[in-house]
Chains A and B, each alone.
Chain A
Amino acid sequence: MAEEDLRAAVAAGALAAREGHRPLLQAIVEVARAIFGARAASIMLLDHSAGELVFQAVTGEGEDTLVGRRISSATGIAGWVAQSGQPLVVEDVANDPRFAREEARRTGYVPKGLMAAPLLRDDRVLGVLNVLDRPERRRFSAAEMDLLGLFANQASVALDLLLQAQRIETLLGTAGDELEAVAELAMRIDRLDEDRRAAAVRLLRDLVDIVGS
């Protein structure tokens, strides 16, 4: 276990972060849905090795059933967005039988319109943000595309945190009990009030001296 990995694991508060991303992703899809006045919104994580997109957060239609579901990233609109790294805005998706067949079978809900944006972090596509069925058939505008991009940025930061937390969990899992104990200690010290935290840090420094000698 490299020292920098240990520091990263502890600093990230991996234990606390384990579930912390979910409310954040959920909040993003809920705000996106509200702002666009859409019937549903969702965030999918791209599983490169499986060639699949996994629903991570869903609001509106499908929110009770879709989280955790997987669809192929090889076909369909979300697949194109994930593969190309480009957003796509279409109306009348229901006219697309491939989309309809696949989605209706899985979700019981066929959208009439879809805005989908890639979740990009540096040069990687992490997933896809979908906004389904805005209320009326108004013209698309560049401003909406920009807005979608802003939500996608936010979602990609949150998704990146999720991936980091997962990576650190894996690290903790393979490092054995010592690292988990250290991570838990760090988390507990972080929650102390200022005086007690300072005392705890002094104690830890003494411990480092003792161990190091």
Chain B
Amino acid sequence: MSETQEGKTTEPEVDLPAWSLRRDDPRARALPRSWPHRIDRKWAWSGSDGAGVRVAIVDSGIDGDHELVGGLQRAVAVEKTADGEWKVGDDDAGDLAGHGTACAGIVRSFAPRSELWSVRVLGAGFKGGAGALLTGLRWAIEQGCEVVNLSLSTPKRDTAALLHEIADDAYFGGSVFVASAHNLDVRSYPWRFSSVVSVASHDGEDPYEFLYNPDPPVEFFARGMDIEVAWLDRTRIIAAGNSFATAHMTGICALILGKHPALTPFQLKTVLRETATNMRES
């Protein structure tokens, strides 16, 4: 490093370690504080209808014509080609199980003007591999979906490392993964990762009631029991499980991002914590 008599660095000759930042880099400039004020629900999502937020539902497909879903922005399916590659293509199969439609309907009930993207990773051609899941998630991030609802998990350890990488990429890329905890006492992924918003159920009836869990890995609890949901062939059923709690949190995330599109995933998570039903004034 060459220095002038005043002792100031004239040029950045020293190689910094990887991932480091020079202090004269634009990124080192002061950033405006986001929240000099109280974070409450009014600030967080009052007036929002989710407009402008792209929500990917990675699941069994979605019946976009269901009255509770009210249309899809796009529907794709991940399927294996003859060469054994996983490929994303337009999908007109709708929903093969009902589960994806149920989740989509819940999200829509919160954020009526959000864009719903169906990413079908389950269904015909699925042989228990996790390739479809990984490909579908990667695709949703690449499309820039701000919220990705994943009411699924995998117990496969060899997949966990790959999922972790995708979850971190999403987190840094501005896509929030909202991931369902397993309904059984099973270690599965990606909901256990800190880069996702993980959700399990509480037994309340208020769709807007969600609780922050100070004892993760599950970080939030939302309504998950006895919910009327959209199902196949324009019907409705009563269903229960963490899948549906997850869709509630996805809907709330879409509302918040509709009003505050610049929030990063970690800011969003903080907003969720601050607006959780069980937070009180200290």
How many A-B residue pairs have C-beta atoms within 8 angstroms? Tell me.
Answer: 123
Q: Which residues of A, 97-124, contact B by the 8 Å Cβ criterion? A: 97-99, 117-118, 120, 122-123
Q: Tell me whether B96 and A75 are in contact (CB under 8 A).
A: yes
How many positions in chain B have a CB within 8 Å of any CB in the partner chain? 42
Q: Which residues of B, 140-165, contact A by the 8 Å Cβ criterion? A: 151-157
Q: Tell me whether B232 and A90 are in contact (CB under 8 A).
A: no
The closest CB in chain B to the CB of A148 belongs to B184
Give bound CA distance, A79 to B59, whole Å. Answer: 13
Q: Tell me whether B186 and A120 are in contact (CB under 8 A).
A: yes
Q: Tell me whether B232 and A98 are in contact (CB under 8 A).
A: yes
Q: Tell me whether A74 and B128 are in contact (CB under 8 A).
A: no
Give bound CA distance, A207 to B98, whole Å. Answer: 63
- Provide the A78-91 mask, 1 if CB < 8 A to any CB of B, else 0: 01100111111111
Q: Tell me whether B238 and A90 are in contact (CB under 8 A).
A: yes
Q: Tell me whether B128 and A90 are in contact (CB under 8 A).
A: no
Q: Tell me whether B184 and A149 are in contact (CB under 8 A).
A: yes
Give bound CA distance, A89 to B237, whole Å. Answer: 10
Q: Tell me whether A123 and B183 are in contact (CB under 8 A).
A: no
Q: Tell me whether B122 and A117 are in contact (CB under 8 A).
A: no
Q: Does B48 contact A (CB under 8 A)?
A: no
How many positions in chain A have a CB within 8 Å of any CB in the partner chain? 41
Q: Tell me whether B184 and A75 are in contact (CB under 8 A).
A: no
Q: Does B66 contact A (CB under 8 A)?
A: no
Q: Which of A84, A91, A118, A122 sits near B238, CB closer than 8 Å?
A: A91
Q: Tell me whether A142 and B201 are in contact (CB under 8 A).
A: yes
Q: Which residues of A, 133-166, contact B by the 8 Å Cβ criterion? A: 139-142, 145-146, 149, 152
Q: Which residues of B, 97-115, contact A by the 8 Å Cβ criterion? A: 97-99
A90-B237, A98-B232 given; A77·B97 CB < 8 A:
yes
Q: Tell me whether A95 and B123 are in contact (CB under 8 A).
A: no
Residues of A within 8 A of B225 (CB): 139-142
A74-B123, A86-B241 given; A96·B98 CB < 8 A:
yes
Give bound CA distance, A97 to B232, whole Å. Answer: 8
Residues of B within 8 A of A87 (CB): 183-184, 241
Q: Does B182 contact A (CB under 8 A)?
A: yes
Q: Tell me whether B153 and A86 are in contact (CB under 8 A).
A: yes
Q: Does A125 contact B (CB under 8 A)?
A: yes
Q: Tell me whether A140 and B128 are in contact (CB under 8 A).
A: no
Q: Does B235 contact A (CB under 8 A)?
A: yes
Interface centre among B128, B152, B157 (most CB of A within 10 A): B128
Give bound CA distance, A86 to B151, whole Å. Answer: 9
* Sample of 6 further A-B pairs with CB below 8 A, known A97-B233, A120-B155, A145-B183: A74-B126, A79-B97, A86-B241, A99-B232, A139-B225, A145-B184
Residues of B participating in the A interface, judged by any CB pair closer than 8 Å: 60, 96-99, 122-128, 151-157, 180, 182-186, 188, 201, 203, 225-226, 231-233, 235-243
Please list 11 pairs of residues, one from A and one from B, whose beta carbons are closer than 8 Å in the complex, sorted by A's number.
A77-B97, A77-B98, A83-B128, A84-B152, A88-B99, A88-B239, A90-B238, A96-B233, A97-B235, A140-B238, A145-B184
In the A-B complex, the 8 residue pairs with the smallest Cβ-Cβ separation, listed nearest first, are A80-B97, A95-B235, A91-B238, A140-B240, A149-B184, A123-B155, A89-B240, A74-B124
